[in-house]
Amino acid sequence: MGANVLVFAERREGSLKRPALEALSAARSAADILGGSVVVLALGSGAAAHAEELGKHGADRLLTAEAPWLDMYVPEAYAATLAAAAGDVDAGLVLVPATSMGKDMAPRVAAALKTGMLSDVTDLEASADGTLRCTRPVFSGKANAIVAIPAARPAVASLRPNVFPVKETGGGAAETGSVEPALAEDKVRVRAVRLEKPAEAELDVAEASVIVSGGRGIKGAENFKLIRELAEPLGAAVGASRAVVDAGWIAHSHQVGQTGKVVSPNLYIACGISGAIQHLAGMSSSKVIVAINKDPEAPIFKIADYGIVGDLFEVVPKLAEAVRNLNS
């Protein structure tokens, strides 16, 4: 029997997050090569209800721990339970989405298993001999490194969101089973008390397929309305460079870059962003990049697929109008 692949299915407020399905599709491809099964672990109330959706995307088995105290992220308990599940299912590979939660949890799991880990992976290739080879950005996105975990098992990898496609296999509902949390509730040292969200919920740039970002070229917080007017008809998230976040023009949750969020959308539109290396590190893996800047020498144009040299105060409203006309 080949090596099984274990996937952590991230859930928020009872719903599966898209990066979990992306990791599941990658797991299915790897398991087919390794000759094993795909096992998914989901935690919190109602987790078993995802059996059909997960099975449709390639899961063979779904393990759940439906304790209500696991409804919100509990770092110690989540990591311990995933590490225990890896041993129980004889996993050769453990995949975790490289979301905020996953980036915190995956190293804990690797440490608990005393094994190797590859982080922020953008391509994954498993060999029949069990070797895991991955591609990940290095040097602030200036280059890609191909790295391998040849022997340590189970190997652990976190997968960058919006890079791996979601695939449907046409399978039926995953077989379900329950597990006990590997850490008792009274042994947990850190707990989330509540989740606070902005009054107007906005798309998270880390998971959006389209992002429209603003930089210092927008000249003030009040001009972010131009960015939002383009983002709205595109169904896009609103992003920002570090400079405008530091200036207090928009919340840090919108920041894209080395000290913000790393994104890989299908379309990234940079408005008034010069393209400092710290910003490029956070968005250079976008599938299509459009840059709007009045400086023809701006570094952003070096990586852009399409560039518009012009005043964003003239270009962005015209783009927004054109998109609205197309939508209508």
Residue 177 belongs to what H/E stretch? strand 175-178
Maximum Cα–Cα distance across the chain: 62
Please state the residue numbers annotated as binding site for FAD: 216, 241-242, 255-259, 272-279, 293
Cβ atoms < 10 Å from Cβ of 306 = 11
Q: What is the DSSP string of 20-65?
A: HHHHHHHHHHHHHHHT--EEEEEESTTGGGGHHHHHHTT-SEEEEE
Q: If you compute the radius of gyration of the chain from its CA atoms, what whole number of angstroms results? A: 21
Contact between 315 and 323 (Cβ < 8 Å): no
Please state the residue numbers annotated as binding site: 216, 241-242, 255-259, 272-279, 293
Contact between 94 and 211 (Cβ < 8 Å): no
In angstroms, what CA-CA distances link 85 with 149, 151, 241, 261? Answer: 20, 20, 40, 29
In angstroms, what CA-CA distances link 175 with 3, 38, 41, 56, 57? Answer: 18, 11, 12, 12, 13
